Copies of this chain bind each other. A is one copy, B any other.
Amino acid sequence: MSISPKLALLEEYALVARALSAPARLMLLEQLAQGERGVEALAEKTGLTIANCSQHLQQLRRAALVTSRRDGKAVIYRLTDAKTLELMDLLRIVAERNLAQVERILRGLSGGYDAPEPVSRAVLAARLAEGSVTVLDVRPSDEYAAGHIPGARNATLAQLEQILPTLAHDAEIVAYCRGPYCVYAHQAVATLRRHGLNARRLEGGLPEWREDGRPVLIDVG
């Protein structure tokens, strides 16, 4: 077993932290927060090679942050439970609260604009009910199809400039993406505000929205 039980315990805790200590694995967790995925899909989304992706996933599994099941010849991974999401969120909160570096990066993303406060999920739900807001889903279209906020319109960053004329200039626009780790919504809001639109970001992303128990619309293939 080990020399000292105390050290052995700390080693186990450290193992979980170490699993979160590589950007590639954080990307994988962000993808898995959208829903369960196979290895190949994850590799494509994150830009990792298949073998490398598989190895990272196994490290995440060793730390019990994700679990896997077989489906035919594919192996499907998913977050073990909501605690994994909580841990990711707290990690982000601590990093953002304390590191000036993070603020500088986010400010750079906003193109120098002072980004407005994000809209809370509860507020967006209320505004949606009264139809006084335009919701924009800035994730890739396949992720939009796999589940989105009812009433949300889909447009990637690349498509954003094209659909600008079709967006209402009087109503407020709320953009969201994969979640707090994702920067699409930050960039979308920056672009929209540069064009004079009244845009804000949703707090969190689709995984957090779903975790709240709010409705998600799935396109049937």
A interface residues with partner B (beta carbon < 8 Å): 1-2, 5-18, 20-23, 26-27, 63-65, 80-81, 83-84, 86-87, 90-95, 97-99, 101-102, 105-106, 108-109, 181, 183
Given A9-B105, A84-B94, 4 extra CB contacts under 8 A: A14-B21, A15-B95, A16-B99, A65-B98
Query: Are A87 and B91 CB-contacts (below 8 A) given A5-B105, A9-B105, A23-B14?
Result: yes
Interface of A is mostly: helix
**Smallest CB separation, A14 vs chain B (Å):** 5
* Most chain B CB within a 10 A radius of its CB, from A2, A17, A90, A181: A17
Asked whether, in the complex, the Cβ of B99 is within 8 Å of the Cβ of A183, the reply is no
Residues of B within 8 A of A64 (CB): 94-95, 97-99
- Give 7 closest A-B pairs by Cβ, nearest first: A64-B98, A17-B20, A10-B23, A18-B21, A17-B21, A16-B95, A10-B26
Query: Quick one: closest B residue to A9, CB to CB?
Result: B105
Q: Report how many copies the assembly holds.
A: 2
Query: Quick one: closest B residue to A30, CB to CB?
Result: B10
Please, could you name 6 A-B residue pairs with CB atoms under 8 Å apart, sorted by A?
Answer: A12-B101, A14-B22, A15-B21, A16-B91, A64-B95, A90-B90
Residues of B within 8 A of A16 (CB): 91, 94-95, 99
Query: Are A109 and B5 CB-contacts (below 8 A) given A93-B83, A99-B12?
Result: yes
Query: Are A108 and B1 CB-contacts (below 8 A) given A87-B91, A95-B16?
Result: yes
Asked whether, in the complex, the Cβ of B13 is within 8 Å of the Cβ of A95, the reply is yes
* A105 and B1 alpha carbons, distance in the complex (Å): 9
Query: Are A183 and B5 CB-contacts (below 8 A) given A65-B94, A86-B90?
Result: yes
